[in-house]
Chains A and B, each alone.
Chain A
Amino acid sequence: MATLLETSRLDKSFGALKATDDVSLAVDAGEVHAVIGPNGAGKTTLIAQLTGELAPDRGTIRFDGRDITGLPTWRRTRLGLARSFQITTLLPQMSAEDNVALAVQARSGSSFRFFADARRDTTLRGPARSFLERVGLAPVAQTRCRELSHGEHRQLELAVALALQPRMLLLDEPLAGMGQEDSARMVALLRSLKSELPMLLVEHDMDAVFSLADRVSVLVYGRIIATGTPQAIRDDPAVRNAYLGGQGG
């Protein structure tokens, strides 16, 4: 299968700390690739380099064959690389629908339009509503974002990312802080997207990772110590030793 996102020999240090150490990683078209690792393994630093919020010290990032290492965040999004945030980053004073509509708007040509009422623009509102429906948020479409629950914020993050109609999703701990019920719903939702969208999934929740991912990479102290199918990773003695051992999977 064709490789969609590829990092090659990525390095990033903060002083003496190597947060990313020679990371080469590939996400193929049609694949869900999970990155797991203990706290402080450098998962957030890795995501930040993929989205363009941090520049790597060395190495390259390619998306769809194109070198995007030096591109700003917004350009990467325009190329079809959408992300969700670990810590909810939505527009708190806008409604759920506004948040999604702004993503639809980002896809639909110029936003240098100064006169027509954007909230009455059915070319924005219609798609926005269908994405909200898809993640199960249609009933709270008009609720202000800051009044939604944590679980709803996570769902909305996903709806916003989907509304960008990306070619690939970067999901930064989409299950972070969710209860069991919300978690299960989100996993089901992600599974339903699996066939349409390649994803790079950074996640803590092992059950979710092993049930969703086609391949898993294990990040420890900034290094990838193993990549393989969920089963192979489960059985890898080095991984068990470094990471899974104490936690019992």
Chain B
Amino acid sequence: MPAPLASAQLPATPPASVARRRVVLLAGCLLLAALPAIAHGAGQPFLIATFTRFVIYAIAAVSLDLILGIGGLTSFGHAAWFGLGGYVVAIAAFHAQDASTLLGWGGSTEALVVWPLAIAVTALVALPIGALSLRTSGIHFIMITLAFAQMLFYLFVSVKFYGGDDGLAMQRRNTLAGADLRDATVFYYVCVACLVAWTTLCAAIRRSRFGMVLSGCRQSERRLLALGYPVYRYKLVAFVLAAAGAALSGALWANAARFVSPDMLAWVKSGELMVMVILGGTGTLFGPIAGAFVLLGVEQLLSAWTEHWMLILGPLLVLFVVFARRGLWGLVAGER
């Protein structure tokens, strides 16, 4: 790589905010690393499982931000990929447990087999669905992604062999060489590692040539076409990448809960992911992590207090969206 020019570094961002961003990122990483110790210190080790779920949702939220925030593609069916990833893991475990086969394959409970498989299967399904959905734009795109997600939702509701709407339980978590996933703290750190790796990858993509084109698609598709970019291909690749990220998240979720159900693919879940992204700051990639933690954290706190927690959370979200448009990340890191 050629030597960077001094003035070539993030030209649109003044250095002070770059420094601030780094401090916030470092603090976030330290906090993530320290959460299990904090839970133990507070005498409430069961909180580690709660934090693990936050981390898993954060992966899905970051992946949604890749298309929604950077590509400007408002997908309202992102939970489908989350659910599909989870089901691949649970179905593989199901066959491994009762020694039956699926298309001649006996299933697996090996993380290094089934997690990549979940990602690959989801990407394969997302490819044609994205190819069709991206023929539309605006409100039609929102509706068609919602429709495809609902189709997958009802597919899993109707497949009684895998539990139908009762869902499918896993007897035990996947096995991973060198790490005991049954241990809550170990599993937490595996999830954090996945979050860090995925977010780092997305951040690299955002800065890359591909990311510049994707961001250009959001700002003016007409300009990108005039520049000679076949924008459809770029949007499709982004769509599939985002689905792959959500699939990883779903695979981890299946392990965390040792249970999957069609609820994972429901439109409510897609909406929740969108709220996390908007709350955290669309297009910031790191913001949606904070968005996931705050949304789920507040939900957890309020639901312990009243079953009508939606009544409080709803207006809070509205106020937030109206008065802090740049999201949590904008407030904390001072980024657009």
A residues lining the B interface (CB < 8 Å): 51, 53, 72-75, 77-78, 82-83, 85, 89-95, 97-98, 101-103, 105-107, 110-125, 141-142, 144, 160, 164
Contacts and interface: CB of A to CB of B under 8 A. Distances in A.
Q: Is the interface of B mostly helix, strand, loop or mixed?
A: helix
A114 B12 contact: no
B11 interface: yes
B335 to A, nearest CB: 12
B205 interface: yes
Given A94-B12, A118-B207, 11 more contacts: A89-B226, A90-B223, A102-B212, A107-B228, A111-B213, A118-B211, A119-B207, A120-B8, A122-B4, A122-B8, A144-B12
A98 B12 contact: yes
B8 A106 contact: no
Contact of B205 (A107, A114, A160): A114
Interface of B: 1-5, 7-12, 204-205, 207-213, 215-216, 219-220, 222-231, 234, 237, 336
Given A74-B230, A77-B226, A122-B5, A92 B219 contact: yes
B223 A89 contact: yes
A116 B204 CA distance: 7
Contacts of A142: 7, 11-12
Contact of A98 (B9, B11, B205): B11
B330 to A, nearest CB: 14
A111 B224 CA distance: 12
A114 B210 contact: yes
Given A90-B220, A121-B209, A85 B226 contact: yes
Contact of A95 (B11, B220, B222, B227): B11
A227 B167 CA distance: 74
Nearest to A115: B204
Contacts of A116: 1, 208-209
B207 A117 contact: yes
A95 B4 contact: no
A34 to B, nearest CB: 21
Contacts of B211: 114, 118
Contacts of B212: 98, 101-102, 105, 111, 118
Contacts of A120: 1-2, 4-5, 8-9
B41 to A, nearest CB: 39
Contact of B12 (A73, A75, A95): A95
B334 to A, nearest CB: 16
B9 A119 contact: yes
A118 B3 CA distance: 13
A154 B223 CA distance: 14
